[in-house]
Structure 1
């Protein structure tokens, strides 16, 4: 396949952003927020998350325009700004976090089916794992036929999965009751101050915004470089509006405590309470389509990150090979082998979905922090601002806010997930050592050794915590 046939339009790039963001998380928002806060806290949480992620999206947009040679997006900025090993950690963390996120999709699909077909149970029965495994490899071989074909399918699926969400929003608008909304406004009986309520929602807001960088990751396929930034902003604004409405409208139809007690996916349970059983079926079908679409988008992104890291000598060269359809086949194979192993491990898990949601968020925050910090670095230095220098102050302010936001998110997530992330990062360094020795390069410079030792210490503490029960999964 010729490279010209692999180019993506602005609409397809936007679909990659929307397809990556609209997945499992949006269908769990009513219960997740109702467990933590009322409408006031939800508004504050979305204001913080929306502002922070909008600033991060604008950093992605600015970097896409000012650093067009950095095609890999997420990890390329870490490498350019902070060195080879931090760049590798950013790439590995983003890749492994995305793999974990893909597993959460299969868990939610199986648990949703379990509500109608008992053989699937809570999504971790033997039958459920076998069916999920078949799905993993069906997607695998479809993607091997070509990135462009998979991106086209993703565009179609993105449209299809938005429809049930829009129907939910319209029905909930007609069910709106101001007296119920007012009774729930300050938390409807929840204890804890507003800050505590808001903090409890922060990690899930990160999870539902993951995917904002989808167009940036695929920037090398863009027909026009400017389309990358525009697709990022268009996708962000559209999905943000959907998520805020899905969160807020149930507070105007049902008591907060009732929403908090609903099963997941809570969007289905909310609609069932308003219109009857068909609402649960309708949303459940939409969820399965949505999650399968998100899985497709993230399978593409996982393989692309690993492939591009290998092309830039940050991963072993074996992952830089493409098949006849210009698909990074070896990268895709490793990705889906890891996903397969993690899916099998859910058989022994109590609450695999919640754990993998939080781990996905935690591992993604490190690469996001590197991106924000690199945007801050070049705008503070004035690098690339010989062209349109009037934008420098604006970009510096946006990057500063993005840095503060990502640091706050890491704090809000807590030490537990930082340590669990280190458990993944430390052994992942083997891939970096492999790549450096392939190229006959020094593995670590002085600053890299410091980072490596801190990572290993974090991993040891994390493993000790799990072994002793101090860290529960």
Structure 2
């Protein structure tokens, strides 16, 4: 069957929808908890520069190596070997799974505004059994949609992206009208947090990264693009648009309510802010926006979560069954693996009552290494071919990746080893299936042993 290809409009919507997911509606509260106005501005400047370096690195890679479909995985594999390539694919896939789970948690947390009271909890913070049941239904509806073909899902996502922009634009327009500079500049340095500004900036990093996760969307599905040149264009268009939205949402919020009041708000905090400006119907508008947003972002992330293992399986890094496609050219093997994993996570959340913030931290941590490897790969191939402008772009993206790992803390990085370790067992099984095609180097074997051993030790000590 001839596969339909995705144009620049649908690619841009895929990237933008991946970034402008449920997180933007909780951003005012998330940022107010950890930073004052000064740290918030510095954090966005660092993130904006870093993400633009990363997006530009992907643009250059799409032109310098258009033969590498799949981006995140294939860049790491071609640059640093099969084991590093698998770790990049596994970390990114886990991030995508957790992102999908978090979207479902947020949408049912938002619906609790209409169903819950102090003495009667139905959806709670999106972590009750009722939320799990509703989220599971939505999960398998999206599964059925994506299984009909990636191009079909991408076209629907374009409409959902346009729909979600309506409440965001309304919030920004009303926020400008209600903005109070004295309110914004009060306790500008966040002294009430009892933390120096630089420590506040560090705490904003995983939040600002979280809302930009998805920047690689066009690169991930590059094999399905009509024109390879559209990949870089779509990425830059989406990044600049998202950065403008995030800056306006967070800055305007601190000019509407005091930071402490914002920090204490229930998420989605944008709903509470809009209700402050136009009355109770403001929350209804934001909940509607979240439902549209989650629908679009969930479609985007389901496509990307299924695409990476599918491409990796075709290259021998995942078991052969993950490379299976159906008659609509959908990566059905990878899709089943992804959505069964999401379902298991939903059950675990209902059982352990985990919240959105916990999911945000885990998902953000798992994508740090894949992003770092993108910058390093561009720097490597640009240096070897004497392309110095791409080299400095790659170096800038890599330095941003190192900064993120530092800002998130080494403890989180070590904890991520407990999630990488079981993935390597999958990799070893795939290697056994493809044992006639390649053999691991001694360095790869030592790396696998070190990660599995470290993951086991850290996991045991945390019990």
The TM-score by the shorter chain falls in which range? over 0.9
Counterpart of 1:436? 431
Q: CA deviation at 1:288?
A: 1.9
Paired with 2:29 and 2:124, the residues of 1 have a C-alpha distance of 21
- Segments of 5+ residues of structure 1 without an aligned counterpart are 386-391, 468-473
**Partner residue, 1:55:** 53
In structure 1, distance between residues paired with 2:434 and 2:124: 49
Q: Which residue of 2 aligns with 1:112?
A: 110
Structure 1 residue 466 and structure 2 residue 435: aligned?
no
| Paired residue secondary structure (1:200) | helix
1:42-441 pair list within 5 angstroms: 42-118=40-116, 119-187=122-190, 189-382=192-385, 392-441=387-436
Q: How big is each residue's C-alpha offset from its partner over 1:164-198, in whole Å with a ceiling of 9 and x where there is no partner?
A: 11110000000011221221422263321110110
> What secondary structure sits across from 1:189 in the alignment?
helix
Distance across 2 between alignment mates of 1:20 and 1:312: 26
Contact 2:421 2:456 in 1 (8 A): no
Q: Could you list the per-position Cα deviations for residues 71-99 of structure 1 after superposition, in whole angstroms to 9, with x for gaps in the alignment?
A: 11001000001001111111111111110
TM-score by length of 2: 0.96
TM-score of the aligned structures, taking structure 1 as reference length: 0.94
Asked if the contact 2:127/2:354 (under 8 Å) is kept, the reply is no
Residue 308 of structure 1 and its aligned partner are, at CA, apart by: 0.7
Q: CA deviation at 1:420?
A: 2.9
Contact 2:62–2:231 (CA<8 Å) still a contact in 1?
yes
Please tell me the root mean square deviation across aligned C-alpha atoms, in Å.
1.4
Q: Do 1:28 and 1:265's aligned partners in 2 also have CA atoms closer than 8 Å?
A: yes
Q: Please name the residue that 1:388 is paired with.
A: none
Distance 1:251 1:124 in 2: 29
* Conserved 8 A contact 2:25-2:268: yes
Say which SS state the counterpart of residue 215 (structure 2) adopts. coil
Q: State yes or no: 1:452 paired with 2:448.
A: yes
For 2:119, the equivalent position in structure 1 comes to none
Please say if residues 433 and 443 of structure 1, whose CA atoms lie closer than 8 Å, have aligned partners that are also in contact: no
SS across alignment from 2:440: coil
**Alpha-carbon distance in 1 for matches of 2:178, 2:187:** 15
1:107 is displaced (CA, Å) by 0.9
Tell me which stretches of 4 or more aligned residues in structure 1 moved more than 4 Å.
none
**TM-superposed deviation, 1:443:** 5.4
Asked if 2 retains the 8 angstrom alpha-carbon contact of 1:419 and 1:461, the reply is: no
Deviation at 1:454, TM superposition (A): 2.7
For 2:66 and 2:57, locate their aligned partners in 1 and report how far apart those are by CA, in whole Å.
13
For 1:153 and 1:188, locate their aligned partners in 2 and report how far apart those are by CA, in whole Å.
Answer: 46
Q: SS state of the match for residue 42, structure 1?
A: helix
- Does the aligned pair in 2 maintain the 1:24–1:287 contact within 8 Å? yes
**Residue deviations 1:227-248 (CA, integer Å, cap 9, x gap):** 0000000000001100111110
